Structure formats: C-alpha cells, structure tokens
Chains A and B, each alone.
Chain A
C-alpha cells in the first residue's frame, strides 16, 4: 500500500526559473495539503486541495505560487521565477476525508528545493 509519493526528492533551480513539485496522494485519498518547512523551523500550511478544487490557499504567497489537483494525475505545486528565499523543503500530505477527529494527515518524504 504505497504512501504519499513526492517527486523529485531534490530539485535545484537557478533564480528566475520555474519549479514544479509533484505529489501523488495515498490510494483512496482525495484531500491533499501542501506545507513548507524552512531550515530549523516547523512546517507551515500553504494550501488545501480536493480533486479539481482549491479549498484554502491562505498560506500560499499571492504571487508566483500556484497549486492544482486535477481530476487525473498528481497534485502540482508550481513556483514561478524562483528566488533564493524559496529554498525550503516542501511537503505534501493526504487524507481520505476531512474533519474526522484523530485522523492524521499522511506525509510524503518531501521535496528539497535549492535555489542557486
């Protein structure tokens, strides 16, 4: 039973390039969450998506960042025109539903984004 799959595991980009991070949720999970972890810090919520819908993107910067979870295929977190401050670990989590007490979000291994 595969867990949450994120790729790539490591991504290096130069300033101004685009970064695309992919996340395939666990089988049977239709709720996806993205978090960002800066060095020496805890994870910070970015966005919550269900299939074809963005439910809450309040934690995502208004510019350059976008997320989608299409009907078919993985969820994508896209960062355009990357800057040094975007260097971080980006984690995707999934759950089968939402609002169930005690139900944890299951995390992928993360994508470490480095900006040169």
Chain B
C-alpha cells in the first residue's frame, strides 16, 4: 500500500500568490513525522519543513507552512508569496517511529511552476 500520496503531478502558480500542495499518508503507527523536501531542476534535495504527529500546532518555516489535519491524515504544504525560485519538484515524506524510524517513505512528488 502506498504510504504517501501526492495527487497533483503538476501545478502552475502566479508569482506572489500562494500555492497548496496536497499530501495524504497512511500509517497505523501513532508516532510519526512528516517532511517536505524541494528538488530544483539541478537535482539536489533540500529539506523544507517538519511536522510531528504529536505536535499541537501547524509547523511554519518562513514562507512555508504545513496544514496538518491528523484525523484526515493529510499534511499539505502551503507556500506563500511564491517566487520564481520556488519552481521545483516537491516531495512529501514520512518516517514512522516503529521499528524502522530511520526509513523515509516518499510520495511521487508535485512539480510547481511559478509564472512571472
């Protein structure tokens, strides 16, 4: 079964607008962490933001914020005030506490293109 689902293969957003990237996950482990990574066209993987399953508040990191809805098992990434440099592939990933709490499971990614 797919642990991480990202249903939007590609999105366009106008510069300075906000964009929301969807991520749903599947786990029976009560303790887990959710991560978002950015992969620009140059190929490197850049860590953006983290949300823990027991965190009471939604994570924020600069222009990035997480809309964490635990009951719905979703952890959507919101990028505010989009910039041209935000054009990239974005991956949602999960790490479950269980026995393999080092193993990241990734979604298929969402490509974001920011238009001037």
* Chain A bound to chain B: yes
Cβ proximity bits B25-39 to A, threshold 8 Å, 1 near / 0 not: 000000101010100
Contact of A48 with B102 in the complex, beta carbons under 8 Å = yes
Taking the nearest CB of chain A, how far is it from the CB of B41, in angstroms?
12
Chain B contacts for A42, CB-based, 8 A: 4, 91, 93, 106-109
11 new A-B pairs (CB below 8 Å) besides A42-B107, A45-B105, A107-B37?
A: A33-B102, A35-B106, A42-B91, A42-B109, A43-B45, A56-B102, A93-B45, A99-B102, A101-B33, A105-B47, A110-B43
Q: How far, in angstroms, from A112 to B41 measured CA to CA in the complex?
A: 13
Q: How many positions in chain A have a CB within 8 Å of any CB in the partner chain?
A: 29
Cβ proximity bits B74-116 to A, threshold 8 Å, 1 near / 0 not: 0000000000000000010100000011111111110000000
Contact of B106 with A44 in the complex, beta carbons under 8 Å = yes
Taking the nearest CB of chain B, how far is it from the CB of A102, in angstroms?
5
Scan residues 26-71 of chain A and give those whose CB is less than 8 A from a CB of chain B.
31, 33, 35, 40-45, 48, 55-56, 59
Question: Given A56-B100, A109-B44, are A102 and B105 neighbors across the interface (CB < 8 Å)?
Answer: no
Chain A contacts for B50, CB-based, 8 A: 102, 104
